[in-house]
Amino acid sequence: MKPDLFQAPDYYNLDDLLTDEHKMVRDAAREWVKRDVSPIIEAAAQDAKFPKSLISGLAEVGAFGPYIPEEYGGAGLDQISYGLIMQELERGDSGVRSTASVQSSLVMYPIYKYGNEAQRKKYLPKLASGEWMGCFGLTEPDHGSNPGGMTTNFKDKGDHYLLNGAKLWISNAPFADIAVVWAKNEEGRIHGLIVERGMEGFSTPETHNKWSLRASATGELIFDNVKIPKENLLPNKSGLGAPLGCLDSARFGIAWGAIGAAMDCYDTALRYAKERMQFDKPIASFQLQQKKLAEMITEITKAQLLAWRLGVMRNEGKATSAQISMAKRNNVDMAIKIAREARQVLGAMGITGEYSIMRHMMNLESVITYEGTHDIHLLITGMDITGISAFN
């Protein structure tokens, strides 16, 4: 792969809206991605192997629990810093951002928000340091967009719960030390349970043959009469709103992350267009190529403004789930369209692993599907503005 020459576009001087701390956190993540992620990520994606060597670096740049209080090992940062870290990670690769999203928003967040003090103390510091890695089990083979229909269940057996069922498409599952799993009790109420690797009847087979997110490990969670200690139930929230609340946090991170992937594609295409000669001119001099590049920077700038404003509202505790949903959908859609256009700017070179664009493009096919598909987010906006649910 070519050396990483990335220069971040900032067409509307958005840096002026950031604090010194935001810029420091972002620049640290940016430098780390350049130094440690870019040189190895193409090979990891080609080999379909999650690069475990990145875990300690992710912890060092504060990517595990950026907004979790420092007393639990988190970085104690605000939501914009969290977003900026996700942007920089996904600039490197969506799979690297995914690993951090899951650890932070889908594992640490529910333990912090819905767990008791003993659970926070037991799990959060080890998750923040990367000593333990986690995964989040909501999706099932027959229940993806409709997680409320889940059949994974647990029964009260007096001194423990007995967990049965299966989850599919679970990021980090093959190597995770713990899983936050959503399952129904005997009354059909959804609860979160912490399942630990090594519990009898719990297995995590890896899902192979992915053309997307190849540098992230994906797998199943299978529960065959797994005995769960009662202290592993998250006590402070139940119902479908509990897992969906975690998704709000992860979707917010993705809204920022997608900008990173788009920035990398744009920056690569711009540099290539200025260097590549055809008809004795740089291809950047042709109007059709300029149109592509001009539209890309316009869409990136709009997405940056959307994410920044959402970050301000998240910091004030005012962002609604529907507002987060709109940003996730818009920014991922923006990024995938830019990846497709940028790939064309590079002609045949665009299909190779010499450049990051095709990898981003393939990754974004997962990003537009997970954490709620593009369609589901359109319907969430539709429900919000009409007051009518198209789901049921």
What is the closest distance, in whole angstroms, from the C-beta atom of residue 230 to ligand TGC in the complex?
24
Please report which helix (H) or strand (E) contains residue 249, including its range. Answer: helix 241-275
Strand partners of residue 203: 222
Distance (Å, rounded) from C-alpha 273 to C-alpha 276? 5
Q: Which is nearer to ligand FAD, 218 or 289 (CB)?
A: 218
What is the closest distance, in whole angstroms, from the C-beta atom of residue 248 to ligand TGC in the complex?
5
Distance (Å, rounded) from C-alpha 63 to C-alpha 67? 9
CB atoms within 10 A of CB 117: 8
Give the distance, in angstroms, between the CA of residue 359 and the centroid of all CA atoms in the same chain. Answer: 16
* CB-based closest residue to ligand FAD: 144
Q: Which is nearer to ligand FAD, 336 or 346 (CB)?
A: 336
What is the closest distance, in whole angstroms, from the C-beta atom of residue 369 to ligand TGC in the complex?
8
DSSP state letters, 4-32: -------TT-GGGGS-HHHHHHHHHHHHH
Residues interacting with ligand FAD, by CB under 6 A?
102, 135-139, 144-145, 169-171, 213, 218, 366, 369-371, 373, 375-376, 379, 391
CA–CA distance from 6 to each of 67, 268, 336 (Å)?
A: 27, 7, 19
Out of ligand TGC, ligand FAD, none, which partner does residue 321 contact, by CB within 5 to 8 A per kind? ligand TGC
Pairing type for strands 160-171 and 134-137 reads: unpaired
Out of ligand TGC, ligand FAD, none, which partner does residue 218 contact, by CB within 5 to 8 A per kind? ligand FAD
What is the closest distance, in whole angstroms, from the C-beta atom of residue 322 to ligand TGC in the complex?
8
Out of ligand FAD, ligand TGC, none, which partner does residue 166 contact, by CB within 5 to 8 A per kind? none
Amino acid, single-letter form, for residue 375: D
Q: Which is nearer to ligand FAD, 75 or 247 (CB)?
A: 247
Amino acid, single-letter form, for residue 51: P
Out of ligand FAD, ligand TGC, none, which partner does residue 164 contact, by CB within 5 to 8 A per kind? none
Active site residue 365: no
Q: Which is nearer to ligand TGC, 264 or 371 (CB)?
A: 371
Which of 356-381 are b and which e, b meaning 16 or more Cβ less than 10 Å from the residue's Cβ? bbbbbbbbbbbbbbbbbeeebbbbbe
Cα-Cα-Cα-Cα dihedral sign, residues 370, 375, 381, 386: negative
- Tally the C-alpha atoms within 13 A of residue 291's C-alpha that lie toward its C-beta: 4
Out of ligand FAD, ligand TGC, none, which partner does residue 174 contact, by CB within 5 to 8 A per kind? none
Residues interacting with ligand TGC, by CB under 6 A?
98, 101-102, 136, 138-139, 145, 147-148, 171, 239-241, 244-245, 247-248, 250, 321, 370-372, 376, 380, 389, 391-392
Could you give the residue numbers annotated as active site? 371
